[in-house]
Amino acid sequence: MIRGYSDHAANERTFLAWVRTGIAVVVFGFVIERFNLLLLTMVSADALDARSRRALERLSGPAGRYEGLALILAGLALIVVAIFRFVRIQRLLADEQVHEAGGYGPELLLSAILVLVVAAFSVNLSFG
């Protein structure tokens, strides 16, 4: 029997939740990249009238080209931070001494970056 098994299992569940979230963010970034590629293809089509072409060009503006990449990088960073967090907590759980909970700086920073990227994408779609 593993001593403190419930703590180790909770750490692993938390790790897997972070990884799932990171994968979802990466996939969403790929979807945005593909959507932007579709918009650029539609803009280059000859069958569009000028009004539709301008609307599509606004949607696929300069910010739209980098939002998907930003989400992909944020998702990958989320997975990397999850790995470091998992290993750190695993070592602390295996140690006999009592430790402080520690800070949540990287997790809060990545969450704030993710919120800003999603907000920028939403504003771009709304006012683009």
The 10s digit of each residue's pLDDT in 22-65 is 999 999 888 888 877 777 777 677 666 777 767 666 666 666 66
In the numeric block, which tokens belong to residue 100? 């402080």
Average pLDDT over residues 11-26: 94
SS (H, E, C) 34-45: HHHHHHHHHHCC
Entry pTM: 0.73
Domain ranges of the chain: 5-127
Residue type (1 letter), 78: L
The 10s digit of each residue's pLDDT in 54-112 is 766 666 666 666 778 888 998 999 899 899 989 988 988 887 777 676 677 777 887 88
Residue 6 has pLDDT above 80, yes or no: yes
Residue with tokens 């809060």: 108
pLDDT in the model for residue 29: 87
Residue with tokens 């938390």: 14
Residue with tokens 């539709």: 52
Phi first, then psi, for residue 4 (nearest 5°) are 70, 35
Please give the helix or strand (H or E) that residue 1 lies within, else none: none
Spatial distance between the Cα atoms of 23 and 29, rounded to a whole number of angstroms? 10
Q: Name, of 6-10, 58-62, 120-124, the range with top average pLDDT.
A: 6-10
